[in-house]
């Protein structure tokens, strides 16, 4: 009897220690982002935003200091499983945060599923991450590729365009952005007459621009981002197309790129879950803090990084720092309203933001909101079973 009591006491003491180990001590965050290539500056903005939120919390979330482990994923899907596995198995991170490129993010989602590691995606829109690959411990702070595309399909139909050519990179993000666009545009009576694409991250646009000129559509819809978006906008204007055939895009076309695009971007309309001139107290405070910390203006990527950290905060607070409590962590996020600089958003049953999509127009080096194109737009989460 006595012996049993002692054993029980030992067991309790031991389990107390184990639980303690999970709620105190450093929380290891594996940042997997591009530091090189066409998306390098996007990776920097995400990391800046993520660190800004943590700095605002005094360097700790739910009482735990944050320790970073970093890998440059090079936006290369062929290296992605190895890179994510290194963070999980060698560095033993508690949570993976990444990345920009949809193909790389799908590999991260696979590693997260196979190892039970928490994953927060701060950009990549791969529909499957919150669709067929969804899981209780996988979240996104950004968007699905479907979302900005779908919103723009409705906008362009309303603006009276009937025949549209699409042009993008041939990979998940480009394909899905165009698919979302086409779904809404054709439902509203428009027709996609030609779908053009080139391999990621190629920027040899000339032959395709010649095809657009020959097809003479009413307008063009595009998905490009980062360095590729800069060159596309410049080449489109340079080929004399900008004045003949209006160019529209998912907002990545002109986000974080306006300095380099100069006047060639002026007047372009895009759809996105962020804009430069929202003028809300929340956004102004964020923009001021970001500019002070980094001597840079924030963009959508900075916001998504900041919100990935905010989502981690909310989840961790609910489990008092014990990230192994995945069910409670997820339950807290599903109920949460994230106080984002973009405007508050909720998280869908498949863990993607339910958010307003703005229609923006470029002017004076800013993506100015001209209003909300699609209110509280939820990705359909196709194929998600949780």
Which stretch, 82-90, 99-107, 150-158, 372-380, contacts ligand PHB (CB under 6 A)? 99-107
The reply on whether position 122 binds ligand PHB by CB under 6 A is no
Crossing angle of the two packed helices 226-238 and 40-56, in degrees rounded to 10: 130
Q: What CA–CA distance (Å, rounded) separates 31 from 261?
A: 29
Which stretch, 57-65, 109-117, 121-129, 329-337, contacts ligand PHB (CB under 6 A)? 121-129
The reply on whether position 109 binds ligand PHB by CB under 6 A is no
Judged by beta carbon, residue 62 or residue 80, the one nearer ligand PHB is 80
Q: What CA–CA distance (Å, rounded) separates 125 from 100?
A: 8
Judged by beta carbon, residue 31 or residue 332, the one nearer ligand PHB is 31
The reply on whether position 100 binds ligand PHB by CB under 6 A is yes
Which stretch, 2-10, 25-33, 120-128, 180-188, contacts ligand PHB (CB under 6 A)? 120-128
Binding mask 191-230 for ligand PHB (x = CB under 6 A): ----------------------------------x-----
Q: Of the candidates 51, 101, 273, 325, which one interacts with ligand PHB according to CB under 6 A? A: 101
Judged by beta carbon, residue 103 or residue 321, the one nearer ligand PHB is 103
Which stretch, 17-25, 98-106, 183-191, 277-285, contacts ligand PHB (CB under 6 A)? 98-106
Residues in contact with ligand PHB by the rule CB under 6 A: 39, 100-102, 123-126, 145, 173, 225, 252
């Amino acid at each position: 009897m006595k012996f049993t009591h002692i054993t029980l006491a030992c067991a309790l003491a031991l389990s107390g220690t184990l639980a303690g180990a999970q709620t105190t001590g450093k929380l290891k965050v594996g940042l997997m982002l591009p530091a090189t290539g066409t998306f390098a500056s996007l990776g920097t903005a995400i990391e800046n935003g993520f660190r800004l939120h943590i700095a605002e919390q005094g360097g700790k979330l739910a009482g735990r200091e944050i320790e970073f482990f970093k890998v440059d994923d090079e936006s290369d899907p062929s290296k992605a499983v190895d890179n994510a596995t290194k963070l999980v198995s060698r560095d033993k991170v508690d949570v993976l945060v990444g990345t920009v490129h949809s193909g790389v993010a799908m590999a991260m989602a696979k590693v997260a599923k196979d190892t039970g590691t928490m994953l927060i995606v701060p950009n990549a829109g791969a529909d499957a991450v919150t669709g067929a690959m969804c899981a209780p411990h996988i979240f996104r702070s950004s968007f699905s590729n479907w979302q900005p595309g779908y919103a723009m399909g409705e906008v362009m139909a309303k603006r009276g365009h009937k025949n549209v050519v699409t042009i993008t990179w041939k990979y998940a993000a480009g394909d899905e952005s165009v698919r979302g666009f086409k779904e809404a545009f054709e439902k509203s009576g428009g027709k996609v007459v030609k779908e053009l694409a080139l391999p990621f991250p190629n920027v040899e646009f000339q032959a395709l621009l010649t095809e657009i000129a020959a097809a003479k559509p009413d307008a063009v819809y595009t998905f490009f981002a980062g360095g590729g978006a800069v060159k596309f906008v410049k080449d489109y204007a340079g080929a004399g197309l900008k004045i003949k055939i209006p160019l529209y895009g998912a907002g990545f076309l002109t986000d974080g790129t306006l300095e380099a695009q100069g006047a060639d971007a002026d007047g372009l309309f895009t759809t996105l879950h962020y804009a430069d001139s929202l003028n809300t107290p929340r956004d102004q405070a964020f923009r001021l803090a970001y500019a002070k910390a980094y001597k840079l203006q924030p963009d959508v990527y900075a916001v998504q990084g900041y919100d990935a950290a905010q989502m981690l905060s909310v989840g961790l607070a609910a489990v008092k720092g014990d990230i192994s409590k995945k069910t409670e962590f997820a339950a807290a996020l599903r109920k949460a309203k994230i106080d984002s600089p973009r405007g508050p958003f909720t998280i869908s049953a498949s863990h993607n933001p339910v958010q307003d999509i703005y229609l923006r127009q470029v002017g004076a080096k800013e993506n100015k909101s001209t209003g909300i194109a699609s209110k509280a737009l939820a990705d359909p989460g196709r194929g998600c079973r949780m």
